[in-house]
Chains A and B, each alone.
Chain A
Amino acid sequence: DSGVTQTPKHLITATGQRVTLRCSPRSGDLSVYWYQQSLDQGLQFLIHYYNGEERAKGNILERFSAQQFPDLHSELNLSSLELGDSALYFCASSVVSASSYNEQFFGPGTRLTVL
């Protein structure tokens, strides 16, 4: 158990809908990262938050947004869903946000299926 929790574990929805994925980092971790894992794209970095502020953006679509709240939990919002958004979405957390040793602890993931 990494200490990172993600809810829900599974989500099935229809095209055009909007969903929210939730992540609670390990106690004491200020950084939260979101990743998308699909069969054809591998593991793609989406976005990184540190103590409530966005720090880096990766291959995140404009239809997707995220935020980190004062209690450090984070939510990833996916809107206007398409079939191609079906994937595993991972959240990871770490203690630091700097150019130094940065072990990320991954949650179990949310499997999103868009029908």
Chain B
Amino acid sequence: GEDVEQSLFLSVREGDSSVINCTYTDSSSTYLYWYKQEPGAGLQLLTYIFSNMDMKQDQRLTVLLNKKDKHLSLRIADTQTGDSAIYFCAEIETGGFKTIFGAGTRLFVKA
């Protein structure tokens, strides 16, 4: 069945770049999403990419999509302590009714 996999933890120093990786299985997904969950809060959409794009840039965020390898990544430039959170990769299942989330990558930013 469909699945989304992410590494569970990432630790970086303030000012460095963070790269969070994700692999997915449903190659017909139309959109792929990155959500952010701050402590004690619900998830919030951070950015998304349409499946016919290779890259999307939004200020400090860069999303790269490799459809051949079914690999998605989120790069955060100049990572700040406020970026400490859990980041979820998500895809919409074929047919569009079910969103599948990865387990989430917990990003720790050291000052």
Q: Which residues of A contact B (CB under 8 A)?
A: 2, 4, 33, 35, 42-43, 45, 48, 50, 55-56, 58, 90, 92, 97-109
Do A45 and B98 have beta carbons less than 8 Å apart? yes
Q: B43 an interface residue at 8 Å Cβ cutoff? A: yes
How many A-B residue pairs lie within 8 Å, measured between CB atoms?
Answer: 64
| Interface positions of B from 82 to 108, Cβ below 8 Å from A | 88, 92-104
Contact, CB under 8 Å: A56 / B102:
no
Name the contact of B104 in the complex, choosing from A33, A43, A50 (C-beta under 8 A): A43
Select which of A42, A97, A108 is within 8 A of B101 by beta carbon.
Answer: A42
- The residue in chain A whose Cβ has the minimal distance to the Cβ of B100 is A45
With most chain B CB atoms within 10 A of its CB, the pick from A35, A97, A104, A105 is A104
In the complex, the answer to whether B31 meets A102 with C-beta atoms within 8 Å is: yes
Given pairs A50-B97, A99-B30, 4 additional interface contacts (CB within 8 A):
A48-B98, A99-B96, A100-B30, A102-B92
Complex Cα distance, B101 from A35, in Å, reads 10
Q: Does B41 contact A (CB under 8 A)?
A: yes
Task: Please determine whether A48 and B97 come into contact, CB atoms closer than 8 angstroms.
Answer: yes
Q: Closest CB of chain B to A112's CB: distance in Å? A: 15
Interface residues of B (CB under 8 A from A): 30-31, 33, 35, 41-45, 48, 50, 88, 92-104
B2 CB → nearest A CB, Å: 10
Q: How far is the CA of A35 from the CA of B97 in the complex (A)?
A: 14
- Please, which residues of chain A bring their CB within 8 A of the CB of B30? 99-101
Tell me if A2 and B42 are in contact (CB < 8 A). Answer: yes
Residue of A nearest to B28 (CB): A99
Which residues of B sit under 8 angstroms from A56, Cβ to Cβ? Answer: 93, 97-98
Whether the pair A106, B98 counts as a contact (CB closer than 8 A) is: no
**B88 adjacent to A43 (CB under 8 Å):** yes
* Choice from A58, A90, A100 contacting B43 with Cβ under 8 Å: A90
Given contacts A101-B31, A102-B92, contact A90 B98 (CB under 8 A): no
List of 4 A-B pairs having minimum Cβ-Cβ separation, nearest first: A99-B96, A106-B42, A42-B103, A56-B97
- In the assembled complex, the Cα of A43 lies from the Cα of B103 at a distance in Å of 6
> Which listed residue (B45, B93, B96, B104) contacts A104, Cβ 8 A?
B45
